[in-house]
Structure 1
Amino acid sequence: MKSNFLLGILLTFSLTLSAQTDSIQYIPNKVYHFSFVPLPAIASNPANGWMFGFAPSASWYMGNPATTKMSNLVGNLLYTTKKQWIFSSRHNIYLSDNSTILIGDWRYFLTSQPTFGLGSSTPNDPVENPNQSGVYWGEQQMDFTLIRFYEAMLKRIGDSKFYLGVGYHLDIHTKIKNFIDEETDPLLQFSHDQYNLSKGFNTDRYVLSGVTLNAVMENRDVAVSPYERNFAWIQYKINPTFLGSDQSSSTLMMDYRHYINLSESRKRHIIGLWGFGNFLVSGNLPYMNLPSMGWDMFGRTGRAYAQGRFRGESMVYGEAEWRFPLQQNKETFGGTVFVNAGSFSSKTTNEKLFNKINPGYGVGFRVMINKQNRTTISADYGFGQKGNSGFYLNVNESF
């Protein structure tokens, strides 16, 4: 099973539309240091074929740069040779003096993606599940349409680094079809269909709609490429039927990141630590809304594995990365070495968290194209278990 492989970048450039922080007079309601990176790209993978389009990124300040953190937006505008469309926009926006944070994740996918069943022990190739007689286990291709709208607003508590807020989230999966590349055994059910039917969901369309309660500690110096301190986010999702969900449910997400500076003279020389958990608290979720590898907000969990490679009712993930400069007196080029591991539980297959852990490791290369905003092009190659591996190219650091 191959994961996404980026073949090339045609063009990378940055447009800086404001002067340096120390050479301007602060003017209220003005946007400062706007930087835009269009990043046209060509990519290919087995699920989508060839992909053509853009992966734009923007960063800017919504207020005085001395007292306001940098806002950022990352998007994808892609079309594939299999007539698929992938549109997304994800942002963290800090209003003037960090009074408010806006966190958004908007997507429209006409796409396909393999799924492998639930839990951490799923194989690469499709076979009958030894824990579920008559059900496929291993790679099963899925075509689907996804409409996602997530938006949260958090207000700062006094002059502290803590924020509280609420949000709304909507996921609509439609036109879902399952198949495998080999001849399908008519006596075996697809993992997606078996799970949904057992939980009372449709197999071709479902909706998850609800509200979120959010608490954030934002203590990073620059969110897109931190050099020090930490970040924490706790989110409780409530999905009632009266807001449109097919069934009522609730989930808990916890995200913590810590950055240890290794050199006072070279702030770019750091150790980054990331812990992430996503748990089903009550009720049932549709199959594609279950916690899954690579389906975090920016799609950065699980370098070494394809998006959706592992899925379950609960997920725990950890990563450590050593980041270092590659030049003695400049910050343009940098490198990374990383290790990660994830574990998924599934009541359907009687698998608990940490019964099986899937590790990954790899190396990366960084090019900082805007030193003022720390806008960085990152390229990583990760290696996982059982032949899983992949090349990943993104804008800004992985976490």
Structure 2
Amino acid sequence: MNVCAHSQTTFNSSAAVRSVYKGVDSSLERDLVDVTHKLFHKKHTEDSSNIRPEHKYNLAIVPAVGYTLQTGFAGIISANVGYFNNGSNKISSITTSVTYSQYQQTIVPLVIDIWTKNDKFNIVSDNRFIDYPSSIYGLGGRTDPNKGHTIDFIGLKLHESVLMTVGKNIYAGIGYYYDQFWNIRALNPATRRINTIITNELGHYEIASGPVLKFLYDNRENQINPSQGLYANFVWRNSMEWMGGNPNYQSLLVDVRKYLPFPHKYSKNTLALWSYNWLTVAGTPPYLLLPSTGWDDQYNTGRGYIQGRFRGKNMVYLEGEYRYRITRNGLIGGVVFANVENFSGDLSQQYNTLLPGYGLGIRVKLNKHSGTNLCVDYGFGKNGSGGFYVNIGEVF
């Protein structure tokens, strides 16, 4: 029996915004800022429950330490600027960070999410440079957890899009996505199988390049920690050889999330439901761009399994999470969650390999105005798989 224990640290793009979220009644809430002031008997220069949301710009610089099996210990410095444009009800933010690991691995994202006046346009720029090893296990849901291989590569992600309001809470737009991986090499190249994978399936570089069409419905009041509402995001991607992609392929991403007060409509507890479907419609994406566990944009799918554990042409993923308060003031909370995923080589194939995960976690309120939590979870999967997951901000 294989045991895959790991810890994963991520940072959500809006989570560092301090006291800029509008419409949150925080007068009876408590967060770590309040606890710190109380412990050290410091008098508030400005009560955190009365900080005016109309303060336009808010800068947060957050140092952190992370650990994963792939990176060892890692030092992280993240900077975030959050603000509201005139007439906008949605947070605009610019976030960047630098992660450097014990094994000389580097991750540098730059995420820009801008809402223009009256929320007419949403400009999204999601960029990332990565240089770190990743485990691969082959295709499908029946791969052997004891036969993983570690490859190293450098990656560049440039995802740019503009959406326009076309109705109440409805947005549509276009964009351009570019992904490139190069210097792909095996860290254990002596085995014939890994050499075959590198030569025939991976190559030494991979590129996807082309236009995207996007459609979004989002009526959540708080995008950082929703308590109610619906989020539905559809992205049609077309990678074209004449634009530098290799090979041609088309894919569809369907990301739907529903949030309900539970067990009754006045409850401060939340039932969150997530359906994440990453489908190949035509052609075959490059190996490293195939749908894979934990390789969504926020690296959050598949709690209970190590990143990259399963991979295939099509990924169907479902998750439910119940978020509840432990203390009445919201400082401490808990969650229980369960998920199931399936990977198939063809959309017509039967879903006969279901891969379940489940677990529980603790929440500590970092920012009572935005609802940002420190999230520490432990997930379990098949064949003894399991590990810790640490996030600033909810998983979905």
Question: Could you say which TM-score interval applies, normalised by the shorter chain?
Answer: 0.7 to 0.9
Q: Do 1:62 and 1:94's aligned partners in 2 also have CA atoms closer than 8 Å?
A: yes
Which of these residues, 339, 344, 364, is aligned with residue 361 of structure 2?
A: 364
Q: Do 2:239 and 2:250's aligned partners in 1 also have CA atoms closer than 8 Å?
A: yes
CA distance in 1, matches of 2:351, 2:79: 37
1:146-295 equivalences in 2 (<5 Å): 146-158=155-167, 160-180=168-188, 184-186=190-192, 188-190=193-195, 192-193=197-198, 196=201, 203-262=203-262, 263-267=264-268, 269-295=269-295
Report the alpha carbon displacement of residue 332 of structure 1 after superposing the two structures with TM.
2.0
- Aligned partner of 2:30 in structure 1 is none
Report the alpha carbon displacement of residue 374 of structure 1 after superposing the two structures with TM.
1.7
2:141 maps to 1:142 = no
Report the alpha carbon displacement of residue 77 of structure 1 after superposing the two structures with TM.
1.5
Q: Do 1:70 and 1:222's aligned partners in 2 also have CA atoms closer than 8 Å?
A: no
1:281 is paired with a residue whose SS is strand
Query: Which sections of structure 1, spanning at least 5 residues, go unmatched?
Result: 8-12, 127-138, 197-201
CA distance in 1, matches of 2:121, 2:68: 39
Q: Do 1:62 and 1:96's aligned partners in 2 also have CA atoms closer than 8 Å?
A: yes
Which of these residues, 132, 136, 155, is aligned with residue 115 of structure 1?
A: 136
CA distance in 1, matches of 2:349, 2:196: 18
Q: Residue 311 and residue 216 in structure 1: after superposition, are their counterparts in 2 closer, same or farther (change >3 A)? A: same
1:242 is paired with a residue whose SS is helix
CA distance in 2, matches of 1:352, 1:54: 44
Q: Residue 352 and residue 14 in structure 1: after superposition, are their counterparts in 2 closer, same or farther (change >3 A)? A: closer
Report the alpha carbon displacement of residue 297 of structure 1 after superposing the two structures with TM.
1.4
Q: Do 1:39 and 1:56's aligned partners in 2 also have CA atoms closer than 8 Å?
A: yes
- Aligned partner of 1:41 in structure 2 is 64
Report the alpha carbon displacement of residue 78 of structure 1 after superposing the two structures with TM.
1.0
CA distance in 2, matches of 1:47, 1:365: 24
Q: Could you tell me which amino acid in structure 1 is paired with residue 105 of structure 2? A: Q
Q: Residue 362 and residue 25 in structure 1: after superposition, are their counterparts in 2 closer, same or farther (change >3 A)? A: closer
Report the alpha carbon displacement of residue 93 of structure 1 after superposing the two structures with TM.
3.4
Report the alpha carbon displacement of residue 4 of structure 1 after superposing the two structures with TM.
3.6
- With 312-321 and 102-111 compared, the bigger mean Cα shift is at 102-111
Q: Do 2:152 and 2:186's aligned partners in 1 also have CA atoms closer than 8 Å?
A: yes
2:345 maps to 1:336 = no
Q: Residue 320 and residue 333 in structure 1: after superposition, are their counterparts in 2 closer, same or farther (change >3 A)? A: same
2:377 maps to 1:380 = yes
- Aligned partner of 1:95 in structure 2 is 116
CA distance in 1, matches of 2:330, 2:59: 19
Q: Residue 34 and residue 363 in structure 1: after superposition, are their counterparts in 2 closer, same or farther (change >3 A)? A: farther
Q: Could you tell me which amino acid in structure 2 is paired with residue 157 of structure 1? A: V
Q: Do 2:6 and 2:68's aligned partners in 1 also have CA atoms closer than 8 Å?
A: yes
CA distance in 2, matches of 1:97, 1:322: 33
- Aligned partner of 1:50 in structure 2 is 73
Relative to the length of structure 1, the TM-score reads 0.82
Matched pairs, number:
364
Report the alpha carbon displacement of residue 45 of structure 1 after superposing the two structures with TM.
2.8
Q: Residue 123 and residue 85 in structure 1: after superposition, are their counterparts in 2 closer, same or farther (change >3 A)? A: same
Relative to the length of structure 2, the TM-score reads 0.83
How many percent identity over aligned positions? Answer: 27
Q: Could you tell me which amino acid in structure 2 is paired with residue 121 of structure 1? A: R
Q: Do 2:19 and 2:370's aligned partners in 1 also have CA atoms closer than 8 Å?
A: no
Q: Residue 353 and residue 51 in structure 1: after superposition, are their counterparts in 2 closer, same or farther (change >3 A)? A: farther
Q: Could you tell me which amino acid in structure 2 is paired with residue 334 of structure 1? A: G
Which of these residues, 61, 85, 109, is aligned with residue 84 of structure 2?
A: 61
**Deviation digits for residues 109-163 of structure 1, max 9, x if unmatched?**
111010110111111112xxxxxxxxxxxx01010000111121110014x1111
Q: Residue 90 and residue 363 in structure 1: after superposition, are their counterparts in 2 closer, same or farther (change >3 A)? A: farther
CA distance in 1, matches of 2:285, 2:136: 16
Report the alpha carbon displacement of residue 260 of structure 1 after superposing the two structures with TM.
1.0
2:198 is paired with a residue whose SS is helix
CA distance in 1, matches of 2:331, 2:287: 43
Q: Residue 104 and residue 296 in structure 1: after superposition, are their counterparts in 2 closer, same or farther (change >3 A)? A: farther
Report the alpha carbon displacement of residue 261 of structure 1 after superposing the two structures with TM.
0.9
2:246 is paired with a residue whose SS is coil
Query: Which sections of structure 2, spanning at least 5 residues, go unmatched?
Result: 10-14, 25-49
Q: Do 2:17 and 2:81's aligned partners in 1 also have CA atoms closer than 8 Å?
A: no
Q: Residue 25 and residue 396 in structure 1: after superposition, are their counterparts in 2 closer, same or farther (change >3 A)? A: closer
- Aligned partner of 1:135 in structure 2 is none
1:125 is paired with a residue whose SS is helix
Q: Residue 294 and residue 220 in structure 1: after superposition, are their counterparts in 2 closer, same or farther (change >3 A)? A: same
Q: Residue 301 and residue 353 in structure 1: after superposition, are their counterparts in 2 closer, same or farther (change >3 A)? A: farther
CA distance in 2, matches of 1:339, 1:21: 31
